Amino acid sequence: MKNKMAEQMIDPLWGYWVTSSDYLTDYDRRVLMDLYQPLVGSDAISLYQLLWNQRQVLLSERKQHAQLLNLLDIDVQHLYQARIKLEAVALLHTFSTKDTLGSYLIYQLHAPLSPQKFFSDNILKTFLYEKIGHYEFSRLQKKYQPQALPQNQQLTDITHSFLDVFHLSSSEILKMSEQSTSTVTTPAQPQYTSQQLASFDWQLLADYTASYHVSSEDIAQHQNELFNVHAFYGVTEIEMADLIANTLNVTNNKIDIQRLQNIAQKRFEDRVNIKAHDEQNNQKTEIGPDDASVLKNFTATERQLIKQANQLAPAEFLAVKKRQMNGFVGSSETGVLRRLQQRAVLPLPVINILIDYILDNSATLTQSLVEKVANDWAQNDVKTAPEAIQRIKNRTHNRSKTNSTARKSPYKNYQPHKEQVTDWTKHQAKKVDPAELAELQKQWHEFKNNS
């Protein structure tokens, strides 16, 4: 795409984002130094290696070219020359675009060719020959030439095959062969009604992603998965556009739904202050003013729980509950909930009540607990948050009745031993005769004087 950015050299204020389609091994680095550095020069190799170390996951984390210039200690002219040399030998693809943060370049890195492919390329090997001369060119060819078996000796191949070493049942091999030819089963994708999908502004999403050249057909193809992210995490249209932009496959401008779901999960886990979103989809069946009679049999605490269950997405509800417990949300917990939601067996408010119920009795959400409660509620046709709470109360009441019929204690007639204590209030003190008291005192004084 020829535009002003393509015609200009490089503006230090432009951003840059690095991605790669390959992995760079130690062997690749040796090939790079031996075969490519003579062609492109040290500046280009330094730029290439630096970009490999600066690959970013999120597009919003991109940096400015001014930082690249400082790290390489070169000027704009030398950086531009180094870049186009890397492009010429297919080590780098450069794309120019812009978004709300400004203009930026996307650098897509490629691993070097294997030595065999390099020396099979007439242009590359001729250019290398001109750069390093006959002697050095021959040395490199010999260095990277695969070693052949000796031809002047009679060799017998005694290598063992897989089945010579490992033994498998013939029936098992046949069974696996039949399975491989059969249709591979894929996880069921969430299916939503047209009314539910209409609650999301798809045109607004298309308008926001148009600058990234995302087609409406691509959005329509992933509509169910995108709506699932919206419904589960409470992601708005604008936030969805940002997720698409940050996870886009830059080679073909296609939505990478797996990366998008992973980033949505990571953002949710890193979120500190979670607030309820105003947007609600048709699965959030909030109790209206006309349904006040439904809530009359519930306590104030239960009514508040029902209101919260109708307003929050499951991920947000889980985070709020965990904060109340002074805990944290685990990746496995959100995975369990997402799989439950994708089955579409319970509405979102009912899933929220399920979260509250399980976490009141367990520290974490586990697959077995969630499936046990969800199965019970689905079989009993629980469709709303009030019905879910009523189901819990009914089971609790039945359990308490069962416990009340437990065996009576064999110690109910036991009477502990009581020690007999004298009640001194019932005993009167004896009266003392004054004359007798005087005689006793006289005898006491005489005893003291004589001793």
Which residue carries 């939601």 as its tokens? 341
Angle in degrees, 0-180, between the axes of helices 331-343 and 257-270, rounded to the nearest 10: 130
> At a CB cut-off of 8 Å and minimum separation 6, what does 60 contact?
101, 242, 246
Q: Backbone phi, then psi, for 17, in 5-degree steps?
A: -130, 135
Q: Does pLDDT of 358 surpass 50?
A: yes
350: buried, middle or exposed (CB in 10 Å: 19+, 13-18, 0-12)? buried
Tell me how crowded residue 174 is: count the other CB atoms within 10 A of its CB.
10
Closest listed residue to residue 49, CA positions, set 105, 100, 112? 112
Q: Does pLDDT of 18 surpass 50?
A: yes
Query: Could you tell me which residue, 20 or 161, shows the higher pLDDT?
Result: 20
268 near 319, Cβ under 8 Å?
yes
Please spell the DSSP secondary structure of 408-449, one letter per residue.
PPTTTT----------GGGSPPPPPPHHHHHHHHHHHHHHHH
Q: Is the pTM of this model over 0.75?
A: no
CA dist., res. 115 & res. 292, Å (int): 77
pLDDT at 273: 36
Query: Pairing mode, if any, of strands 15-20 and 102-109?
Result: parallel
pLDDT at 294: 66
Give, as one character, the DSSP assignment of residue 252: T
217 near 202, Cβ under 8 Å?
no
SS3 content of the chain, % helix, strand, coil (to 5): 60, 5, 35
CATH architecture of 4-112: Orthogonal Bundle (1.10)
Q: Read off the pLDDT of residues 385-405 as tens digits, 9 standing for 90 and up.
A: 898 888 888 877 666 665 555
Q: Does pLDDT of 132 surpass 60?
A: yes
279 near 204, Cβ under 8 Å?
no
pLDDT band, very low/low/confident/very high, at 423 (cuts 50, 70, 90): low
Q: Backbone phi, then psi, for 16, in 5-degree steps?
A: -145, 145
What length does the chain have? 451
Q: Read off the pLDDT of residues 91-107 as tens digits, 9 standing for 90 and up.
A: 999 988 888 888 889 88
Share of the chain above pLDDT 90, in %: 14
Q: Does pLDDT of 429 surpass 70?
A: no
* Paired strand residues for 19: 108
pLDDT at 407: 46
pLDDT at 332: 77
The type of residue at 152 is N
Closest listed residue to residue 374, CA positions, set 336, 335, 334, 345? 345
When mean pLDDT is compared across 9-18, 156-165, 176-185, the lowest value belongs to 176-185
pLDDT band, very low/low/confident/very high, at 208 (cuts 50, 70, 90): confident
30 near 118, Cβ under 8 Å?
no
The type of residue at 306 is I
Segments making up each domain of the chain, as ranges? 4-112, 194-270, 289-400
